Amino acid sequence: MNAIYNHWRLSGWLTHDIFVIAVAIVFIALCGFLLYSLIKRRSTRRLKPYLFILVIYGLIVNFIGMTFFGMFRSVTLEGKSQLFFSHKNHSFTSIERTVIPNGQSNGISTSTSKFELISVNSDTGERIWSKRMGWRNYLIGQTDRYLILNDADDDALFLLDSTTGAMRFSQADLVKKIPALSEVLSPDFPDYRFVDRRLYIHGLDNRYYLLDLENWTLTEDAQIMTIFQQHRAPAWIISASDNRVGQPISDQELTEALRLLGEQLINPVLLGKKQAHQYYVLAYKKRRGPQASIGLYDVEKQKYLWQTAVTLTEDGVPINAYQMDDALYVKAARYLFKLDTNTGRKIYQFDYRWNRVVDR
């Protein structure tokens, strides 16, 4: 029953919610008409055709829901952007992608994708807001005031309010503030870097710029090219586990830690370093399967200092970690886990499919 309820409740995914609301309105109208007919005729003998209509209606809406919205089916959720944190709003924001399989055509698997920009309260795990995105939209970065996005088809750069998701500045608005941007902004998201909460641009004029969103200034600096060389371009879809927390790890230590973890655990993902020989790790129970655990592991003593069991959607999904004070956040495709770094206690598990906490 809980699974049925999940599929027919509002989830924060716009197209799904519109469908659910439309189905509910028509259902209420049909029930109202049936009730009116029953009261007017004071007989139940002629209600069979109307009940038959309700049954057919239920079958049709379930078929539409399964076909176009992935209801009661296995769908894939993956991060289309990095997860960005706002200290001011205590929120994590990212673009998430739902992939709904449509079968095969000429031997090729086909699917429908839906994209949603979702902001989650980092303290409670509650959804703050969500906004539908297009497949050409890309989240470049987030400041305490703005979400910085790129649209290859329309606005090369536009800003949303990080608190509400409302549009704050379109590309035209930005050009009015800084006219020089008209010759600089690129429609290609790899021409942007967001590093240390600063936005860098590789302009269409082949020069490099720093765009200050607080003072609304555009500064050209040839040295910015090194930032583009040192930091990889953002990926179209998050497919790697490369975001780590805690103390810095040298290349030599990283190589050694990965070697030791690989010998002692099953398919480990290094999430970060707490101190010498102690690492935050996600490891699987078996070589294949979704059962895993997140823990603080001591490679010298070869044991966990704490360990928490988790279930992922499947094995091998991208795993990325974030740390705020005494909380460890682990983003694993469909789920966002929050754990206490001292005890390993799971504070919450947020599910991006339903946009709500599913476990505490």
223 and 128 belong to one structural domain: yes
Q: Answer whether 332's CB lies under 8 Å from 350's CB.
A: no
pTM for the full predicted model: 0.91
Rounded to whole angstroms, how far apart are CA atoms 186 and 93? 23
332 and 310 belong to one structural domain: yes
146 and 254 belong to one structural domain: no
Using a 10 angstrom Cβ sphere, with 0-12 exposed, 13-18 middle and 19 or more buried, the burial of residue 207 is middle
CA 183 to chain CA centroid, nearest Å = 32
Rounded to whole angstroms, how far apart are CA atoms 221 and 228? 12
Rounded to whole angstroms, how far apart are CA atoms 124 and 122? 6
Q: What proportion of the chain, given as a percentage, has pLDDT over 70?
A: 97
CA 5 to chain CA centroid, nearest Å = 22
Structural domains of the chain, count: 3
Rounded to whole angstroms, how far apart are CA atoms 323 and 288? 28
pLDDT band at 35 (very low <50, low <70, confident <90, very high): confident
Q: Is the pLDDT of residue 234 over 90?
A: no
251 and 209 belong to one structural domain: no
46 and 112 belong to one structural domain: no
**By residue range, what is the domain housing residue 12?**
2-69
Domain boundary pick from 12, 43, 69: 69
Within a domain: residue 268?
Answer: yes
pLDDT in tens, 63-86: 999 988 889 888 889 899 989 999
- Angle at CA 236, nearest 5°, toward 232 and 238? 80
278 and 350 belong to one structural domain: yes
Within a domain: residue 240?
Answer: no
Domain boundary pick from 177, 202, 230: 230
Query: For 154-159, what is the mean pLDDT?
Result: 91
Return the pLDDT at 45.
Answer: 65
60 and 93 belong to one structural domain: no
What is the per-residue DSSP string for 256-295? HHHHHHHHHSSS-EEEEEEETTEEEEEEESSSSSSEEEEE
Within a domain: residue 128?
Answer: yes
- Axis crossing angle, helix 48-69 with helix 14-41, rounded to the nearest 10: 180
131: which DSSP letter?
Answer: E
125 and 198 belong to one structural domain: yes
Return the pLDDT at 43.
Answer: 60
CA 24 to chain CA centroid, nearest Å = 28
The pair of structure tokens assigned to 183 is: 């010759």
Domain boundary pick from 30, 50, 69: 69
Rounded to whole angstroms, how far apart are CA atoms 125 and 114? 22
96 and 217 belong to one structural domain: yes
23 and 94 belong to one structural domain: no
Return the pLDDT at 44.
Answer: 60
- The CATH number for 316's domain is 2.40.10.480
pLDDT in tens, 183-209: 999 999 999 999 988 999 999 999 999
Within a domain: residue 235?
Answer: no
pLDDT in tens, 334-360: 999 999 999 999 999 999 999 999 988
Residue 155: CB partners within 8 Å, gap ≥ 6? 149, 170, 171, 172
Rounded to whole angstroms, how far apart are CA atoms 173 and 25? 39
**Number of separate helices (H) and strands (E) present in the chain:** 6, 23
pLDDT in tens, 210-227: 999 999 999 999 999 999
268 and 353 belong to one structural domain: yes
Positive or negative: CA dihedral 249, 310, 75, 10:
negative
The pair of structure tokens assigned to 207 is: 């020069």
The pair of structure tokens assigned to 328 is: 């460890």
Within a domain: residue 237?
Answer: no
Within a domain: residue 238?
Answer: no
Within a domain: residue 239?
Answer: no
Within a domain: residue 115?
Answer: yes
pLDDT band at 52 (very low <50, low <70, confident <90, very high): confident
49 and 101 belong to one structural domain: no
Nearest to 62 by CA among 20, 29, 32: 20
Q: Which of 125-134, 245-254, 307-316 has the highest mean pLDDT?
A: 125-134
